[in-house]
């Protein structure tokens, strides 16, 4: 077989139940009362209806040996279902999957672990499940333990581990054992920041080492972009796009909701907590008008409006991401003497900040806006961008300034000086 993974016309169907509209989920007493009141109702009506849902539909792709394939898409797109079929956790409804080689996976924290066994025993159990000999596991054992950082608890039953310890051990086992194929589902979304950084570094080492085939599912577009040459975009169980990672990531981000220069919520529908409600997030041009298309040579204003419901201290933040999902910067009003530590009374407020002219490169940008009280996050719209905009270099009136895409994430117009030092000898 030339390909290490071949997926042909793969489909997966689930049957889900729905409570019939107008009927409630009641207690046993409610059910008995209904029977006595209407003794023949249960014979003539069904309380639950069934619906077939296709988690995957006619999915086709092939993976070369040693390839690092990214898989992205919104929640519910079928990413985890696909990996579960590849690891034979669940069977497909239609189509076929051909996998050549031993498969290691990290789909959910502690998958394949036994809570009554110790960390040491679980390492050997996982290795055996993967078809590895004891000598092969022995060779990697110290590396696994050191990476996971569980040395003191190695002979403690797994049920006594914290969730963080279980995450570290699960990833360490999957990453270090010598499998031909490694399937990783959102490993960088769990654990603390230090562990996420360590995990990403390990993934980069795996990629650099070559030889192993990796299917990497993540919502972290920066990690996908740095690790994967080719990426598949899943949407509603179908492959919406596949090809080079920059192109597919850009298509995914540009197709997400809130791809406009303004988002406004009603008081009832606003993202909220008991203290605040977001009202609007906007991108404004130099004239103060909402715009999606911005000139990089002119300032860009970011604006957030919110209702304060109860007296509280507040800080507003913006995160700016580029079209590859890389966080370029975050900014807050903490340093502002007036607004940074101000105690807000109930009412409607507006805060804004200005991105200077000649700072951004050409491209599409996504803005996340959120509010927090001290260190406690109150309102969060970071999971999906609040607004987005496109920065262009219109190439006019630059005095010889070179238009077009410059290298780098940003392109500030910095002041330069030059002078003659001396004559030639």
- pLDDT range class, residue 396, cuts 50, 70, 90: very low
Q: Kindly state which CATH superfamily the domain 262-392 is placed in.
A: abc- transporter (atp binding component) like domain (2.70.50.60)
Question: pLDDT, tens digit, for every residue of 34-78?
Answer: 666 666 555 555 555 677 889 999 999 999 988 889 999 887 889
To the nearest whole percent, how much of the chain has pLDDT over 90? 26
Mean pLDDT of 239-247: 91
Write the DSSP symbol of residue 227: H
Cα atoms in the Cβ-side hemisphere of radius 13 Å centred on 150:
31
Q: Does 397 score more than 60 pLDDT?
A: no
CB atoms within 10 A of CB 348: 12
Which pLDDT score, from 0 to 100, does residue 166 have? 82
pLDDT digits (tens, 9 = 90+) for 144-157: 999 888 889 999 99
pLDDT of residue 109: 53
Residue ranges, CATH 3.40.50.300, the chain: 5-13+56-254
Spell out the residues 6+ positions from residue 177 whose beta carbon is closer than 8 angstroms to its own. 104, 126, 127, 130, 132, 136, 137, 140, 144
Q: What is the 3-state secondary structure (H, E, C) of 17-34?
A: EEECCCCCCCCHHHHHHH
Q: Count the residues in the chain.
A: 425
Return the ∠ at Cα 20 (arms to 15 and 25), rounded to 5°.
Answer: 100
Q: Which of 83-97, 139-153, 397-411 has the lowest mean pLDDT?
A: 397-411
pLDDT of 85 > 50? The answer is: yes
CB count within 10 Å of CB 96 equals 10
Whole-angstrom distance, CA of residue 252 vs CA of residue 323: 9
Query: Which residues face 10 on adjacent strands?
Result: 59
Q: Indicate if the pLDDT at residue 398 is higher than 50.
A: no
Residue 143, CB-side half-sphere exposure with 13 Å CA sphere = 14
pLDDT at residue number 93: 94
Of 85, 100, 88, 106, the C-alpha closest to 173 is 106
Beta carbons within 10 angstroms of residue 264's beta carbon: 13
Strand pairing of 343-344 and 387-392? unpaired
Of the chain, the percentage scoring pLDDT greater than 70 comes to 79
Q: 96-111: per-residue pLDDT in tens? A: 999 887 787 766 555 6
- CATH homologous superfamily of 5-13+56-254 equals P-loop containing nucleotide triphosphate hydrolases (3.40.50.300)
The string of pLDDT tens digits covering residues 116-128 is 999 999 899 888 8
Residue carrying the six token digits 């900040």 = 353
Read off the pLDDT of residues 362-392 as tens digits, 9 standing for 90 and up: 888 989 888 877 544 444 444 457 888 988 8
Average pLDDT over residues 19-33: 55
pLDDT band at 188 (very low <50, low <70, confident <90, very high): low
* Beta strand ranges found along 246-386 (DSSP E): 262-264, 276-284, 293-295, 300-308, 312-313, 315-321, 327-332, 343-344, 347-355, 363-373, 376-380
**Window from 20-24, 27-31, 388-392 with minimum mean pLDDT:** 20-24
Structure confidence by residue, pLDDT tens digits, 338-355? 666 678 899 999 999 999
What are the beta bridge partners of residue 189? Answer: none
Q: How many angstroms separate the Cα of 235 from the Cα of each of 7, 129, 138, 242, 245?
A: 17, 32, 42, 12, 16
User: Please, are residues 369 and 314 in contact by the beta-carbon 8 Å criterion?
Assistant: no
Please tell me which residue, 340 or 230, carries the higher pLDDT value: 230
Confidence grade of residue 285 (pLDDT, cut at 50, 70, 90): very high
Q: Where in the chain is the domain with CATH 2.70.50.60?
A: 262-392
* Token duo for residue 301: 């204003």
H or E stretch including 205? helix 193-209
Q: What is the pLDDT of residue 399?
A: 40
Q: What is the pLDDT of residue 183?
A: 85
Statement: residue 280 has pLDDT above 90: yes
Helix (H, G, I), strand (E, B) or coil at 81: helix
Angle (CA) 388-389-394 rounded to 5° is: 170
- Residue 324 makes CB contacts below 8 A (sequence gap 6+) with 221, 222, 225, 246, 249, 250, 253
Q: Is residue 164 within 8 Å of 173, Cβ to Cβ?
A: no
Rounded mean pLDDT of 201-224?
A: 79
Strand ranges, E, within 20-164: 48-63, 68-72, 94-99, 103-106
126, 130, 143 from 173: Cα distances, Å: 8, 11, 9
């Amino acid at each position: 077989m030339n390909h290490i993974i071949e997926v042909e016309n793969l489909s997966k169907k689930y049957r889900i139940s729905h409570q019939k509209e107008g009927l409630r989920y009641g207690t046993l007493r409610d059910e008995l009362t209904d029977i006595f009141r209407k003794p023949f109702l249960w014979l003539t009506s069904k309380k639950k209806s069934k619906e077939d849902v296709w988690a995957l539909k006619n999915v086709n792709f092939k993976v070369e040996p040693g390839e690092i394939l990214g898989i992205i898409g919104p929640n519910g797109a079928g990413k985890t279902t696909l990996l579960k079929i590849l690891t034979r956790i669940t069977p497909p409804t239609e189509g076929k999957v051909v996998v050549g080689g031993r498969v290691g996976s990290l789909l959910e924290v502690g998958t394949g672990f036994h809570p009554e066994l110790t960390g040491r025993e679980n390492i050997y159990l996982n290795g055996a499940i993967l078809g590895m000999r004891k000598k092969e596991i022995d060779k990697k054992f110290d590396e696994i333990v050191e990476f996971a950082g569980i040395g003191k608890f190695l002979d403690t039953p797994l049920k006594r581990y914290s969730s963080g310890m279980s995450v570290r051990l699960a990833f360490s086992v999957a990453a270090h054992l010598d499998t031909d194929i490694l399937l990783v589902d959102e490993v960088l979304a769990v654990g603390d920041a230090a562990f996420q950084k360590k995990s990403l570094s390990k993934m980069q080492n795996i990629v650099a080492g070559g030889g192993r085939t990796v299917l990497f599912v993540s919502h972290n577009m920066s990690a996908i972009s740095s690790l994967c040459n080719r990426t598949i975009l899943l949407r509603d169980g179908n492959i919406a796009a596949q090809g080079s990672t920059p192109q597919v990531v850009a298509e995914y981000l540009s197709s997400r909701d809130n791809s406009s220069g303004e988002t406004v919520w009603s008081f009832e529908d606003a993202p909220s907590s008991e203290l605040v409600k977001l009202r609007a997030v906007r991108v404004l041009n130099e004239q103060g008008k909402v715009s999606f298309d911005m000139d990089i040579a002119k300032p860009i204003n970011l604006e957030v409006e919110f209702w304060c419901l109860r007296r509280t201290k507040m800080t507003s933040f913006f995160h700016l991401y580029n079209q590859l999902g890389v966080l370029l910067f975050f900014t807050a009003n903490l340093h502002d003497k007036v607004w940074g530590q101000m105690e807000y009374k109930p009412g409607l407020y507006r805060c804004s900040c200005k991105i200077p002219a000649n700072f951004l490169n050409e491209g599409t940008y996504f803005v996340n806006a959120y509010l927090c009280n001290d260190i406690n996050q109150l309102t969060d719209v970071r999971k999906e961008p609040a607004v987005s905009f496109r920065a262009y270099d219109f190439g006019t009136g630059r005095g010889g300034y070179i238009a077009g895409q410059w290298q780098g994430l940003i392109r500030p117009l910095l002041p330069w000086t030059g002078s003659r030092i001396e004559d030639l000898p």
